[in-house]
Amino acid sequence: MSHVRMLLSAAAIAGVLCAGDAKAALTLSSQTGVVDASPLVTFSEVPESTVNPAYAFAGAPFDGLTIAFAGYFAGQSLVAGSPISLSGSPTPGTLALVSDILSYAITANDAAFGSSPVITGGSDGASFASPVSILFGFAVPVVAFTIGEFVAAGLTTIEAFDATGTSLGVVLNDGAGLMALALSNPGGPDIAGLSISTSDLGGGFSIDDLFVARAIATPVPAPTSLLLLAAGLAGLHLGRRRSDVPVRA
């Protein structure tokens, strides 16, 4: 599709998860070869500074899908600091977003994307350096988006969840600048939600042109500089889950 061709390419990075008896491979790759990339959220669909936006879509291949944005999921909390980080895990059962005063607003004219509206965490001094979480009305096979502009590799964490709130794994950005990524979980549960956060105030991010897809026909192999994390290992969130005082539950 045309909007896919316009997005930047990116190297692949991957995470590995063992969930119960089932093994899945959370994979972050370039957007080359995505199949049925629809619907597309450009963040120009709502007025600038819209808080916690949500979108609803009709038509194949994802009829009835909703995509909603906020700071964190029920069971987690925001933790005060520079940057604001996440603590805890989603409440087991049904993945659900929490909306509060530290809300997440559409921000236009970000330097990373020219004049294109983007979404970014925080509406104050923590803008671009606090968590953004995304909830899909039903689990989807592939989630793709453009994200950046990164100042260095390894500062931004992306964690995926299934519909029950179980983590599917964690991946990190493996480079600087803008990255156009496609996230999937081949052989495992589809993706129902994402949490994206940074471990360094200078490593802030914003998100543009998010879409879902049915599959990745030609995933790009991971490079030798692969960044791997397994859910549950020490350092899973690389500073996200800290002992600071929670902002609110």
**Residue 166 confidence (pLDDT):** 96
CB 185 within 8 A of CB 194: no
Segments in the chain below pLDDT 70: 1-24, 101-115, 122-126, 218-249
Torsion on CA atoms 95, 198, 240, 65, rounded to nearest 10: 0
Q: Is 2 helix (H, G, I), strand (E, B) or coil?
A: helix
**Residue 107 confidence (pLDDT):** 64
Strands 40-41 and 34-35: unpaired
Kindly report the backbone phi and psi dihedral angles of residue 231, in degrees, each rounded to the nearest multiple of 5, phi listed first: -60, 135
First-to-last CA distance in the chain? Answer: 41
CB 169 within 8 A of CB 26: yes
Q: Which residue has tokens 């990373």?
A: 112
Alpha carbons 204 and 156: distance in angstroms, whole number: 8
Closest Cα to residue 214, out of 139, 137, 142, 138?
A: 142
**Residue 153 confidence (pLDDT):** 87
Q: Which residue has tokens 């119960």?
A: 20
**Residue 206 confidence (pLDDT):** 87
pLDDT tens-digit readout, 124-153 = 556 777 889 999 999 999 999 999 888 888
103's enclosing H/E stretch is none
Domains and CATH numbers, the chain: 2-215 (2.60.120)
Angle of CA points 12, 149, 98, to nearest 5°: 90
Alpha carbons 56 and 52: distance in angstroms, whole number: 14
Sign of CA dihedral 52, 43, 105, 192: positive
